Structure 1
Amino acid sequence: MTADTVGGVWTYALALIKGLAPYGTHVTLATMGAPLSEAQHRQVAAIDNLTLYESTYALEWMDNPWDDVARAGQWLLDLAAEVNPDLIHLNAMAHGNLAWQKPVLAVVHSCVLSWWRAVLGEDAPASWDTYREWISRGLRAVDWVVAPTKALLSEAEALYGPFRESSVIYNGCDPQHFCTGTKEPFILSMGRVWDEAKNISLLANIAANLPWPVYIAGDATHPTTGETLPLPNVHFLGKLSATEAAEWLGRAAIYVMPAKYEPFGLTLLEAALSGCALVAGRITTLTEVWGEAAVYADPQDAQELQAVLRHLIEDEAYRKHLASLAMHRAQRYTAAQMTQSYHSLYQQLLAGEASPSFTESDLASSISKQGNVQ
């Protein structure tokens, strides 16, 4: 299994690997991107069915990463030759068309081109054509493509398909990690406040007009100025540990993610399991996951978000009802259910025949050509 070390993919990978232990599955995890932190190394050490191989190769969504991506491909093939896995699970997409000689699935966790459309309202410029080519080749070559929502899978197929086979497996987390405490009158959100996709700045900018304080966990540093700007009625919590985040979720009455782009929304799930009423951006992925168990606001409309939040603040019965609906809905998205779905897919792939794209000699030529694409 491959993974990067930042954000939701890391959390997802560890939850899945832990869940696979009772099935007798051992996972060799190959990481790319940033080095693991000490906390991440402790997480890995606590999982018996995991063997870690760490690298710092650039990731496919970074600026001009293709030489590094090609080198990472050769590293992954050398690693596969060493450990001889039964199956390849890619949590990135560019390496799908390597000569794996084993069944391969790739998960579309997000992508630059769909991000560009959702956040900036236009197609990505020509400078991303190389990215499109690599991702299309990768996803078309694998035996199976997975996405965490139907909406994202449909968009990925339109952008990069057709795929050989595909399905939706919703992400999940362990409900035991979260609990409902005594709810307090404040609003919580988590993420980088200036992240255009998460769009938490929309919440921060209306906070002064809300009767409850707003707490934001995550990086509050502005990407251009490097400053943390003071915002009325907003309290920045900084980066929280998993335990600290669970404590804040247990106390918060309302959790807000006014996203313009969010392929699944893991923190919404964590908030639902913690008894929060959910407010989300009105986008296809989030409405698919939460249905009537959340309330939505146009991610471009500050007044609508403010009205939704005021309604929840003022109507305690409605707020508690919404939190109950979210808690019930969240039972669909447990780590156990996610793991069972992946295990079933693994068995299906192992029962069939792998469909290798290239011979070993073709691979060397392919890596050399792709590495020189500008």
Structure 2
Amino acid sequence: MQKGGIYFFLVIFALTLLALLKLYSPFLMNLLIAFLLFIATQNVYYVILKYIKSPLASTFLMTLLLIILCFLPIFYILLNLLNLATNLELGNFQNFLLDLQMHLGEYGKEIFAYLPDLLQKEINNWLAHLSGIDWTEVAKRSIGIVAKISQNSLYFLSDTLFILVFLFFFYYYGGALGQYFLGLIPIQPTYVKSLYEEVSAVISVVFYSSIFSMLLQGALFGILMAFLGYNALLLGVFYGFASLVPVVGGSLVWLPVVGYELYLGNYSYAILITLYSIIVIATLADNGVKPFIISFINRVLIKTPLKINEMLIFFAIIAGLTSFGFWGIVFGPAITALFIALLRVYKILYQDKV
């Protein structure tokens, strides 16, 4: 082909690519999420395929499994938030906050009387700031946030449907698509496979460890809530998803429950929930059991051993949540792992030749 023909082809190809990006831009994020979920769960899919022998049946089963584990609990939470925003009266919620503030002020002074003077002074200053809060505005904003989350559930539903459709096709045609694109990339297939396997290993470890940890912590908190007479399923699901948030984690759930028990005057229940959440769930289940979960995942499900420090993965999750929201749990580690893997390939391809 002549130079003029090559330039013409490149221009037409670039314009067509831009047109495709414009055409499918509403679905690009859903497509990327589906692709990352496929990368994270492909090992399980191939295990299922090995026993069932039918690609179509294996694809249906794997998609159904992800719906049950990932999407149904989210819709359950959204439906309950919608119900809460519909039925909660602003006046009653405001009175609850005011009563809780009064209880903390009254009983707090008796409890804090046994603490050192310096600590008492700091707590009294904190209580003084607490008394100055406009609880009417807090109540309005809280209900507004819940209502907005509930309204966005329709958009989440449509996004979920597209993600599941894309995910289904990735499972069913993933092998053929992989071979096709492998032939288009102008890098040795061994390097491309190395990049893919390293990114896949990181995403898989993050995904599986998050799912196992979420199920374990949610179940433990749900057991305690059932014992205390709460809606164990709802609070357990809430706690499971809250545990995915770095640093604060399950405190987003158990602290409001403790506040409600203090409001009712059930101090023993409040102490029990606090100690159980901190010692049993946060310390033993999360910090104690999680390393064994990650070790099990590396040994059984992951073919390529991790080459990235766990602390880097932790910060990648935080950065992903900050930049992309909920799905940043997968995006952050994926982008970080891809960059580090590309640096390794660069070192092999170029630096070793210098």
Shared fold, TM over 0.5:
no
Is the radius of gyration larger for structure 1 or structure 2? 2
TM-score, scaled to structure 2? 0.26
Higher helix share: 2
Higher relative contact order (CA 8 A, sep 6+): 2
